[in-house]
């Protein structure tokens, strides 16, 4: 809704093929009115008012309506189906994603600002990381730094079984713990109810420290991972880090408009195999 309307207030957006879009705002109407550039912004006290208001504007309800099925709960879908009894709902997820993957000049600028914030945060991490404190405590320190510069503190996901979080710091042996997170590096987490990311483990000298920090600024994300060490990293770990950097720089030259991402991925896998990291890569 924020992408298409410019506001994140509690509202419902109706986009018609032949008419201007309509934003139905439950709360808070004055803020939505101020934030959104849409012309048709209507206040409602209940979602049940929406069908009548659409009929008042367009004389009829749509025969077919697209909905982002990947994020709409089943209960809500059934509710809409009863509310719009003559309308057939279809999955518009790919249509929404296809729109969003094309970035405007404004959006690219927002992504650059988020990248700058990520860079500043990692510089802060490099200058302030120290042995003797826990993984989670240090996450709190650098998250506080980023929050002061506008980081929202949350990472939104489009998958209901995944939780976005910014405290993904894994040190020493914790970098090798696998688990529920769909990445090669899960970590131990704080409890069995949150079994991923940073833990109470104390950060030590001479061990690899993996920090995956997701930045969200003005609604736009940058996700960046860096490896740190206080002192001297074990040679085996250093060699793997250098191999990762080599693969990354090799792929940069391959990334051009029109190249399929599956081709880029396959080349990364082949290069990892060439360097002796086929089993461990990703």
What does the pLDDT look like over 115-158, one tens digit per residue? 999 999 999 999 999 999 999 999 999 999 999 999 999 888 88
Tens digits of residue pLDDT in 222-234: 999 999 999 999 9
**Token pair listed for 215:** 């930045």
Mean pLDDT across 160-169: 88
Among 34-48, 85-99, 116-130, 171-185, the range scoring the smallest mean pLDDT is 171-185
**Considering the chain, what is the average pLDDT of its residues?**
94
pLDDT over 90 (residue 104):
yes
- What length does the chain have? 282
Tens digits of residue pLDDT in 234-267: 999 899 999 999 999 999 988 998 999 999 999 9
Burial class (CB in 10 A: 0-12, 13-18, 19+), 237: middle
Nearest to 210 by CA among 124, 271, 129, 117: 129
Mean pLDDT across 17-25: 96
Number of Cβ atoms within 10 Å of the Cβ of 80: 18
pLDDT over 90 (residue 282):
no
Beta-ladder partners of 12: 24
Locate the DSSP E strands across 68-144. 88-91
User: What phi-psi label fits residue 22: left (phi over 0), alpha (psi between -120 and 50 degrees) or beta?
Assistant: beta
**Residue 109 CA: distances (Å) to CA of 38, 145, 260:** 22, 22, 24
What is the predicted pLDDT for the residue at 124? 98
Tens digits of residue pLDDT in 174-221: 999 989 888 888 999 999 999 999 999 999 999 999 999 999 999 999
Q: Provide the percentage of residues in the chain whose pLDDT is more than 70.
A: 100
């Amino acid at each position: 809704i924020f992408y298409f309307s410019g506001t994140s207030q509690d509202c419902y957006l109706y986009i018609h093929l032949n008419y201007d879009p309509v934003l139905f705002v439950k709360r808070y109407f004055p803020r939505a009115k101020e934030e959104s550039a849409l012309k048709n912004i209507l206040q409602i006290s209940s979602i049940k008012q929406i069908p009548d208001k659409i009929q008042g504007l367009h004389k009829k309800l749509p025969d077919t309506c697209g909905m982002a099925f990947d994020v709409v709960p089943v209960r809500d879908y059934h509710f809409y189906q009863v509310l719009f009894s003559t309308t057939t709902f279809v999955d518009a997820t790919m249509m929404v994603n296809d729109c969003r993957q094309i970035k405007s000049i404004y959006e690219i600028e927002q992504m650059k600002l988020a990248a700058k914030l990520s860079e500043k945060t990692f510089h802060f991490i490099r200058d302030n990381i120290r042995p003797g404190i826990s993984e989670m405590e240090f996450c709190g320190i650098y998250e506080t730094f980023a929050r002061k510069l506008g980081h929202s503190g949350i990472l939104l996901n489009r998958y209901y079984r995944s939780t976005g979080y910014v405290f993904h710091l894994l040190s020493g042996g914790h970098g090798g713990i696998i688990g529920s997170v769909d990445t090669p590096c899960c970590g131990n987490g704080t409890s069995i109810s949150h079994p991923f990311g940073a833990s109470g483990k104390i950060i030590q000298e001479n061990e690899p420290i993996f920090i995956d920090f997701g930045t969200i600024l003005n609604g736009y994300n940058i996700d960046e991972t860096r490896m740190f060490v206080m002192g001297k990293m074990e040679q085996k770990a250093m060699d793997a880090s250098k191999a990762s950097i080599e693969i990354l720089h090799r792929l940069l030259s391959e990334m051009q408009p029109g190249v399929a991402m599956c081709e880029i991925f396959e080349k990364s896998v082949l290069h990892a195999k060439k360097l002796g990291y086929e089993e461990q890569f990703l």
